[in-house]
Amino acid sequence: MRFHRRGLYIFAASLIGLGSVAFAQNSTVLIPGPLRSFLRMAGVSQKAAPEDILPLFARSVFIRGYSGGRPSEYLMLLDRYVAQARELQALAGPAGALKVTSCTDAVPLLQILGYRIRNGCGKTTLLMTADPDRAFLTIDSGFPLPQLEEALQNGQTFTMPYTYSQVPGLLHESDWFSISTSRRRGISSLIDAIVDDPSVARLYWAMSKLDPETRNVLLHQPGLRRLAPVAAVLDFYGGELDVHENRVIVPGGPASDNAWKDIVGASPQSPGDFILHLLAKDRGWTAAYFDSLSRASREQQAHLTEPTRLKQLYEAFRPYDQDPPATRGVFRRAPDILVLFSRANWAPDGTPHIPGDIDTWKRILADAPRNRAISEWAKHAKGWNRPDQVLQGMVGISRTDMESGPLQIFFQANAIDRARGNATPLDPQTVRLMASHFSQYANWFPLFAEFPELDNNSIQQFINTAQAVSGISNETLRGNALGSFQAVVGIWQVLARQDEIQPTMLNASWLHMLEPFNKVQNDTELFDHARESLGQLAMAAAGKPNCTQDEWIDLLGGPRQSSREARAMQQEMAGRIHSVMADQRLVSLDTLFAFSDGLSALSQGTTTPDKLLPMAEQLREFEMPRAILTTMERIEWAPRGYSIRHAQLQARTDMTKLLKSQPNKQQLENARGTLAAFLRDTLVGLNYAYYEPPGAQMLHHNPVFVRAHDFTGMTVSSPERAWMIAELFGTGSPASGGAYLAGSLADLPFALAKSEQDFIVPENVQALIWRELVPELLVSASMPRWWEITAPEMHAAALYQKAGEDLIDLARKNPEVRSRVHSILEDRLTVGQMMTVDDAWNSKTPAPPKIAPADAFYLASVYRTRFPQEPAWSPAGQELETLSKEHPEESRPDRIARDFGVPHPVMDSSYGRDLLAIKPFPFFGGFSSRLFGESWDSNNFYWARLADELGYQPVMLHRLVPELTRRMTAKIFASHIEDWAALDRAMRETGEDFRHSIAAQKAAQAVASSAQ
């Protein structure tokens, strides 16, 4: 164990003569001018901690400072600003202040600022640009030029403190000068060394992420100069490097030392040599392998690092001679091996769990789209006869980035088997069927991991039905069929999540829902079969074949509630759905079904046209927004392939004209078929409305947003999008007719969140808010429902967090507890995050370390499980013990994790919510960027604790969670792409603001009551 090791290392280092340790070596670096101005020009958050400023500055330099090997505009402006700040510093003199008493005094200052005086001194004095380059820096850095001008006009003295800003520096400045390859003369500070040499900047950033003991070992051996060539590898894959007691902590522990020595070519007991070899070997891929294993849980490491398996897996992972280095590109590589090592399944005998059987994976690899890695492993697969060989094959192809390949199929099949348990795993036939259609339905298969009650036949029938719908030749009919089918599946998913379909009925209701869509040949059949499918859902959820639209919305709003507060909240949730349906001008199900029945009755002569006219008029209530461009202008300027034909056809539909024309039976039958497009949009609209993101704008202000959904992908020339997660198109072009989604309804909460995220306005200037993260935050607020949460369960969630924080505080004083806490948190926290906890434990200040709410919950729950005989360690722990005895079911950690966790469709291939024992994933580019967002899972735990402490009923989470999440998103002020602390800070600031607002409301009510 590595508890309190930093304090021990300080003492040990002084004894063995290693010199001063890193935090003793830290120097004070002087930055010319105000710190706020420097941070503005460097692109560093104003909320960055002092010790983080130079590392973040270094990161900005090597990421944004060069383009094609040449200095970028960012770097040139930054360099000029530093030079200007030094001139101002010299002008300020020993007094450390810029002082202007008259126009004459102002001339030297204005020359540096790039301005001159116009109109002489007095009331009419104006400052004009004399040097545009300097003037730009003056304004961009936030120099108070208006105040200077006002002082000159009024004959007042202008004074501005202008001294060096002091920030902590890593190691000694001279250490960095010695490795700089810059040819520029006059390097006088660490700032210059970082600005002038990107390799220094990157190494500085990489070293800042290491814990002090590791950093000091590397400083002495191999030294900064030998580390500089592998700085990129250290940056991407060195975050989990950890040296303790003069040996590298390797995945698998000391038992794996010899295996790692064979792989790396140096012993972990010679840390400097081992790390240098690790970083340099196989162009960084060895370090990527080491890092991925280090991020796996201890349980996974125990399996993966068995000596023979560890070396075999690395041989499978090793790159070919022609493969690019692991550092090519802006983001780190091979996200799939990290997922594979984190979520591998294991059989009871310790071998890898292989979904289906080994022969299945031989065929999957043989049939997979070819690239070099897959071709090679398809040859190897012919001789497979052991599960470990299949795992080696998956590791071998993990270096190739693919959205839909054999490895992704392996993830999905494993996720389904993991959810089902060992009793009813996927059979080989189902795995092969899924694999053969994976490129189409990859985004739909996580549904079967969320609902393991759906058996192999249900998966097969879904694929068969989807194939039948996709095979419809008429494009318009196919689009309507795709939308209707996916919308009904989406409604089933909602009802199943809300337990409005009994678990024992899930499989049967699924099959009954699918069956009608297998026989669609025309628009009329589509309308009838979609209605029949919806009726099957009504039977499963409401016990009757027909429900009105209000009844459907009530079902979606939530299951039947008993308490007054819950019934009121259910009405509120239903009201939100009604609001979206009204703003989208969607025709109600009641009108569509009644009008269809009326047309059938009219064809049989049992009713008259005049009785149907009022309903026909309702179909005409929708009108297209008035066009701002002519037809020819739209043709010229609209995005290529864009069409709003679906919505236009509805706007042109005139049933009143038909009814007045004495139609024949065929015309009436065709008219019923026309209603299929309207039914599609209403069903799709119910899905959109249910998943309305916090602060949604397009759902309420773009009345064709639902109707414009392109299910066939033809408007963007991408027919393959029909079953993929929808993407937003048509933004930024007034000729496009408005933004719209193209794709399927799979993972609709995420698609809508991506569409709406830009309407949340940041509270901070220059705030970094991740486009890759915000949708995941919004999904965690819009997808969950809280009907089954009881007051004891919400209180237990709060107590687990308090008890976890108390454990952290106790660990400061108790070495044995600290060791236990360390061993638990190492499965959830990165080395960098553990370093922060260590710092707080070793600090002289009494404040306990802060960990994220989900980590606190995880710590307390695992601690109680591992040490059941341990007495309660705090009042919160004692209360939790009592609550667990009184409400054992509602206090179960797995239930709380499921109810307050988040979905992990990429990380865990499931739309179900959970809290995973996984460290935060680093940022990857492309589709895998979602792994980063799915790593943040603390929000709902924190909101639940907040609601519990403020006395709210659990049903109020339906109102609190979306609103608090929206406010939190606006408060995010990050400094870099993996700034987890910024999320925690924004979340807690939102919580404190909410506490204060509630306190203010109560105070105002008390004053009002006393006044009465």
User: Residue written as tokens 């995880």?
Assistant: 858
Which residue would you say has higher pLDDT here, 644 or 67?
67
CA distance 929 to 921: 9
pLDDT score, position 248 = 96
Q: What is the bridge-based pairing of β-strands 243-244 and 165-169?
A: unpaired
CB 177 within 8 Å of CB 193: yes
CB 826 within 8 Å of CB 832: no
pLDDT tops 90 at residue 720: no
- Tens of pLDDT, residue by residue over 805-828, are 999 999 998 999 999 999 999 999
CA distance 193 to 839: 28
Which one, of 952, 953, 912, 915, lies nearest residue 935 by Cα? 915
pLDDT score, position 624 = 54
Task: Tell me if residue 160 falls in helix, strand or coil.
Answer: strand
Measuring CA to CA, how many Å separate 416 from each of 1, 301, 448, 582? 35, 22, 6, 38
Helices (H) and strands (E) in the chain, counts: 52, 14
pLDDT tops 60 at residue 18: no
Measuring CA to CA, how many Å separate 893 from each of 794, 881, 884? 12, 13, 10
CA distance 970 to 774: 10
- Tens of pLDDT, residue by residue over 561-598, are 999 999 999 999 999 999 999 999 999 999 999 999 99
CB 616 within 8 Å of CB 659: yes
Which residue would you say has higher pLDDT here, 135 or 641?
135
CA distance 621 to 650: 10
CA distance 513 to 520: 14
pLDDT tops 90 at residue 344: yes
pLDDT score, position 628 = 55
- Tens of pLDDT, residue by residue over 586-632, are 999 999 999 999 999 999 988 888 889 888 888 876 665 555 556 66
User: Residue written as tokens 């992420």?
Assistant: 209
**Mean pLDDT, rounded, of the chain:** 90
Which one, of 440, 518, 447, lies nearest residue 481 by Cα? 518
pLDDT score, position 173 = 87
Which residue would you say has higher pLDDT here, 23 or 831?
831
pLDDT score, position 844 = 77
Measuring CA to CA, how many Å separate 649 from each of 470, 626, 686? 22, 15, 21
Measuring CA to CA, how many Å separate 40 from each of 133, 182, 314? 17, 25, 45
Could you tell me what percent of the chain has a pLDDT over 90?
74
Lowest mean pLDDT among 716-725, 731-740, 945-954: 731-740
Q: What's the per-residue H, E or C state across 670-687?
A: HHHHHHHHHHHHHHHHHH
Could you tell me what percent of the chain has a pLDDT over 70?
93
- Please report how the helices 475-497 and 665-690 are oriented relative to each other, as an axis angle in degrees rounded to 10: 40
Q: 118 forms bridges with which residues in the sheet?
A: 126
Lowest mean pLDDT among 335-349, 611-625, 764-778, 952-966: 611-625
Please give the angle made by the CA atoms of 232, 238 and 242, to the nearest 5 degrees.
Answer: 155
Which one, of 995, 973, 970, lies nearest residue 985 by Cα? 973
Task: Indicate the domain borders of the chain.
Answer: 28-209, 791-1003
Task: Tell me if residue 579 falls in helix, strand or coil.
Answer: helix
Which residue would you say has higher pLDDT here, 999 or 440?
440
Report the predicted TM-score, pTM, of the whole model to 2 decimal places.
0.91
CA distance 329 to 350: 37
CA distance 914 to 904: 8
pLDDT tops 70 at residue 962: yes
User: Residue written as tokens 């679906």?
Assistant: 646
CA distance 948 to 942: 10
- Tens of pLDDT, residue by residue over 846-885, are 777 789 999 999 999 999 999 999 999 999 999 999 999 9
Which one, of 361, 347, 365, 362, lies nearest residue 418 by Cα? 347
- Tens of pLDDT, residue by residue over 910-919, are 999 999 999 9
pLDDT tops 90 at residue 524: yes
pLDDT score, position 638 = 56
pLDDT tops 50 at residue 734: yes
| pLDDT average, residue stretch 24-42 | 87
Q: What's the per-residue H, E or C state across 792-828?
A: HHHHHHHHHHHHHHHHHHHHHHCHHHHHHHHHHHCCC
Among 284-293, 648-657, 765-774, name the most confident range. 284-293
Backbone torsions φ then ψ of 166, nearest 5 degrees: -105, 130
| pLDDT average, residue stretch 456-478 | 96
The token duo for 452 is 């393991």
CA distance 238 to 61: 19
| pLDDT average, residue stretch 335-339 | 96
- Tens of pLDDT, residue by residue over 249-293, are 999 999 999 999 999 999 999 999 999 999 999 999 999 999 999
pLDDT score, position 22 = 37
User: Residue written as tokens 């849980």?
Assistant: 297
| Cα 752 from chain centroid (whole Å) | 14
pLDDT score, position 738 = 74
Lowest mean pLDDT among 29-43, 554-568, 648-662: 648-662
**Strand ranges (DSSP E) for 794-919?**
902-904, 910-914
